[in-house]
Structure 1
């Protein structure tokens, strides 16, 4: 699906940044896309709240400076999903992705996310409503099934294809696994073989070697990388470039420091100082983690993750990358 390939990997296998609730904010997506991710997907947006004009939902679906702009919507009823899809497109979305894979109890308890895999007829009605509501491409992200006794991802993918959806992504776990155990990339092959639209494989891809292994096991058209990119938003683009046969150098410590600071300052600008500081803490922890084991003394790491002073946070963040006692940087995990 060309609109999801974007720039940087047109000649190769796409690598996409997965939607991560509370993580793939506008600035993380901007950075990942700039560093070559084939496409980036917004964090999950509650359709009913966006349809009602909720301010935070609007921020979650913001896509200024990101192209293609992909908004992921979650919900359990066709009408709010259709309304939210129209709002997202009217405000710039190039693609709508439908969440049928989130395992969180707060989502499945409302019959949304992966709970929809327990009722494929309702899932189909919801997909049809979104497909009919907008003229842009529509995709769906799912799991293998609700549990091992109901591995119905291939059935759901076939329904999506018949409705005219443009691609599907499959996380190689059931909902009942949450994130335990290992993603079963081989099981995704059944979905690939069941449809003609592109299938992207997701789950446990943290390096170039794992991306290649996943593609070989699943037969997927591309990979979607989620948690491994937190604190390393350049990772997805680096894997996309390597898969395209165009490996690029790892970002230097100075460049990584600049990326981390850009992300932090962006969140302050997006959410305001009070909310931005709180929202950024998970990212700060991840950036420091990937800066190396000697990046910051424990006391300074605690200060970084608890301070409400943006200037102090930026000083400590730069120190994590630029004064790490020669701690080794993480790489793709395999020579390209």
Structure 2
């Protein structure tokens, strides 16, 4: 079997393939994780859960820790800067069903970095060591780590942090190919990912700008990473995982999804959001997903503007059905037309 179609082993868990859903704040809730796994992802990491024990009882935190019906293995990402609190957060999540604990040292968001969590930790290697040791010692499930290439372009310390993590007992490493200072700008640094791969023996998951099956194949071959992690490219396009899996296996492209399938995937996803969050919150959360699903489809700009004015579940579902029935009159197959992407459409990937 070629490198690009190999599966990945994390502790006792052998993933069905080497395609991972990136943890994204406000996006990778349980409905989205389950959908991506259904459409071909081998692993989906939860959106970030705070290590602040005062928040364990909040509705948002309880929802993020809800894994009912989710396909194993269940990976939960925790974030924080205090080793003791991170250890407690890891234990708490394992007690609530987590089978893999992922530590966030990759998020570039200011509100995370301002409390010295996320990618800000890369500035303080001794603290990184303390956190990793505390979490690994606290739980008997695999611990994984998400990092960036460094704090800024003058301080790329990913190789040192990766070696440290492996020595401490971290069992897989995900790496976004940018520094904290780069946020999501510029091109991902695949050379740094390749250098880290040469330095460690644990599985390495490459992340950053992987938007097509060809790009996934290129990144796997160029970096020799064991897997790729897809974030923003899966928003509104969860079938990207089956498309990549098919291309890696056969070298051929799957035909684009038919409009009727997109309609059904979207209806099922939206209904899952209503069930998960309750109708009012679910309808509001659904808006951004509906926007992503329809972006680039014929006449979708007006539809998205109208969608954001609707205030009930019934109105939302009726508008979706009307939009897709009009689309079906034109073409069964998906036809994207380029649109200018606004910063509002970019969710922050952790």
Taking structure 1 as the reference length, the TM-score comes to 0.90
**Which position in structure 2 is the counterpart of 1:334?**
none
**Which position in structure 2 is the counterpart of 1:65?**
69
Work out which of the residue numbers 261, 264, 271 in structure 1 matches 2:270.
264
1:205 paired to 2:214: no
Work out which of the residue numbers 213, 233, 238 in structure 1 matches 2:238.
233
Q: Which residues of structure 1 form unaligned runs of 5+?
A: 331-336
Q: How do 1:1-336 and structure 2 match up within 5 A?
A: 1-3=8-10, 5-7=14-16, 9=17, 14-49=18-53, 52-66=56-70, 67-245=72-250, 249-290=255-296, 292=297, 294-296=298-300, 298=302, 300-324=303-327, 325-326=330-331, 328-329=334-335
**Which position in structure 1 is the counterpart of 2:3?**
none
**For the structure 1 residues 110 and 39, does the alpha-carbon distance in structure 2 shift closer, same or farther, using more than 3 Å as the test?**
same
**For the structure 1 residues 276 and 122, does the alpha-carbon distance in structure 2 shift closer, same or farther, using more than 3 Å as the test?**
same
Give the Cα–Cα distance (whole angstroms) in 2 for the partners of residues 100 and 313 of structure 1: 37
Contact 1:33 1:237 in 2 (8 A): no
SS at match of 1:191: helix
Taking structure 2 as the reference length, the TM-score comes to 0.87
Contact 1:82 1:129 in 2 (8 A): yes
For each residue in 1:259-296, what CA deviation from the matched residue of structure 2 results, as whole angstroms up to 9, or x when unmatched?
11111111121111222222222111101115x2x143
How many equivalent residue pairs?
323
Give the Cα–Cα distance (whole angstroms) in 1 for the partners of residues 190 and 120 of structure 2: 21
**For the structure 1 residues 87 and 278, does the alpha-carbon distance in structure 2 shift closer, same or farther, using more than 3 Å as the test?**
same
Contact 2:21 2:43 in 1 (8 A): yes
Instruction: Pick which of 26-35 and 251-260 moved more.
Output: 251-260
Q: Which residues of structure 2 form unaligned runs of 5+?
A: 1-7, 337-350
